[in-house]
Every structure is written in C-alpha cells, then in structure tokens.
Amino acid sequence: MTALRRPRFALAVLATAAFAAAALAGGPAFAEGNPAAGKKVFRKCAACHTVQVGKNRVGPSLAGIVDRQAGTADGFKYSKAMLEFGTGGGVWDQATLDAYLADPRGFIKGNKMAFVGLKKDGERADVIAYLKTAAE
C-alpha cells in the first residue's frame, strides 16, 4: 500500500494543509464565544482563579488577562516555565489562550497548573469571551 493510501498519513497531510491555509489567510479563525455561557464554564476555573483585580488564589487573577504578557499578574509567584514563556514574548491573545486552555501542561511544559484543560472548542471560546469582559 502506498503512503498516500494510509489513512493516518492522509489525515496528517490534510491537517498540515489546513493549518498552512489558515496561516496564509492570516491565522486561524476563532468562533466568537458567548460571555454568559463562558461565565458558567468559568466555574471550572473558579476554585483556583478569580476575575477580581489583584485577588490571586492558587492561580493568578485572570482579570485583564486577554492580550496581557504571560506571567505578569501582580503578587503571584509563577513557575519558571511560565515566567520564561512570558519573557520570551508569550502574550495571552485569543489563539494562545485557546491552545493553553485545551492542554495547559502540554502547551507550557513545566507550568504549575494541574487543570487538565477544556477539551470542547465551544467552551474555550465562551470562557475566552467571558475573560475579555470580566472584571469583578
């Protein structure tokens, strides 16, 4: 059987082509989330995070996180991995938040966040929409 007839190989080729097309078109398109639905999804995050300015818990406050440099919430002690990500140019834009929320440990190896992530695209879009507007 030739390489092109193998299903996994074909899927990898298609995924690579789709990624390349998205990159050429200005990056991946993200669905606009629903902030009200995102507030409900945020309950999964609320044990460790707040959206109150300056109020950290086990995790940093997420108030104003969208478009902020990673590792810069005042008064929070970040892991070395997160600090390196931030000083290396890591900014929490929509694409970065989406990738991080899908797999926090895989996206930034060595970070302290134990959460397994939000696997559903819609949940990530909703919580990002909520974070864009939230500050209690």
- Give the CATH number for residue 128: 1.10.760.10
pLDDT tier, 30 (very low <50, low <70, confident <90, very high otherwise): low
Provide mean pLDDT across the span 58-65: 96
Confidence category of residue 110, pLDDT binned at 50, 70, 90: very high
Note whether 113 and 50 are same-domain residues.
Answer: yes
- Do residues 70 and 90 share a domain? yes
Measured in residues, the chain has a length of 136
Q: What does R_g of the chain's alpha carbons equal in angstroms?
A: 17
The DSSP output letter for 57 is: S
Same domain for 63 and 125, yes or no, is: yes
The residue-averaged pLDDT of 27-48 equals 86
Average pLDDT, the chain: 83
Answer whether residue 29 shows pLDDT above 70.
no
52 and 10 share a domain?
Answer: no
Residues 46 and 95 in one domain: yes
> Could you give the number of structural domains in the chain?
2
Q: Could you tell me which residue, 85 or 23, shows the higher pLDDT?
A: 85
127, 97: one domain: yes
Q: Are residues 26 and 38 in the same domain?
A: no
Closest CA to 131 of 79, 67, 69: 67
Q: Are residues 39 and 18 in the same domain?
A: no
Per the structure, the complete domain to which residue 38 belongs is given by 33-133
Q: Do 26 and 85 sit in the same domain of this protein?
A: no
Determine the residue type at 5.
Answer: R
Amino acid in the structure at residue 56: N
Same domain, 113 and 62: yes
Specify whether 1 is located in the same domain as 20. Answer: yes
